[in-house]
């Protein structure tokens, strides 16, 4: 994951989703606890946590689109 190139469109999509988050939430990922502002910064920089968030969000959206999500509800 660390060395995998980030798809620019996926990154933009995730950034927009994160920008719409409530200011009251913190996402704990790895050893970091990130506020909305810090999440945006991490994604823009494509650091480890930013890459993890992009991966998790895209997997979720793909599962929604493919219908895989219905295996989990």
Partner 1 sequence: MYKCVLITRPNHDSLTNYLYYWCNPVINKAKEKGFVVLDLNSKKANPKNFESYSKKNKPSLFFLNGHGSSVSITGDNNTPLIEVDKNDDLLDKAIIYARSCNAAKTLGKTAVKKGAITFIGYIDKFYLVYKISRITEPLKDGLAKLFLEPSNLIPTSLIKGNSVYLAYEKSQRAMKKNFSYMLSTNASKEEKDSAFALFSNMRSQKIIGNNQAKIY
Tell me if 12 contacts partner 1 by CB under 8 A. no
CA–CA dist 20, 35 (Å, integer): 13
Tell me if 54 contacts partner 1 by CB under 8 A. no
Tell me if 3 contacts partner 1 by CB under 8 A. no
CA–CA dist 39, 71 (Å, integer): 29
Tell me if 7 contacts partner 1 by CB under 8 A. no
The answer to whether 25 and 38 have CB atoms below 8 angstroms apart is: no
Residue listed under structure tokens 């494509």: 46
Tell me if 72 contacts partner 1 by CB under 8 A. yes
The residues binding partner 1 (CB under 8 A) are 17, 20-31, 33, 35, 52, 56-57, 59-61, 63, 69, 72-73
């Amino acid at each position: 994951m660390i060395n995998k190139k980030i798809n620019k469109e996926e990154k933009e999509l995730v950034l927009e989703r994160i920008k719409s988050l409530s200011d009251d939430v913190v996402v704990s990922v790895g050893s970091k606890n990130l506020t909305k502002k810090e999440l945006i910064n991490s994604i823009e920089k494509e650091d480890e946590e930013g890459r993890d968030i992009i991966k998790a969000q895209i997997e979720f959206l793909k599962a929604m689109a493919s219908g895989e999500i219905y295996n989990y509800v």
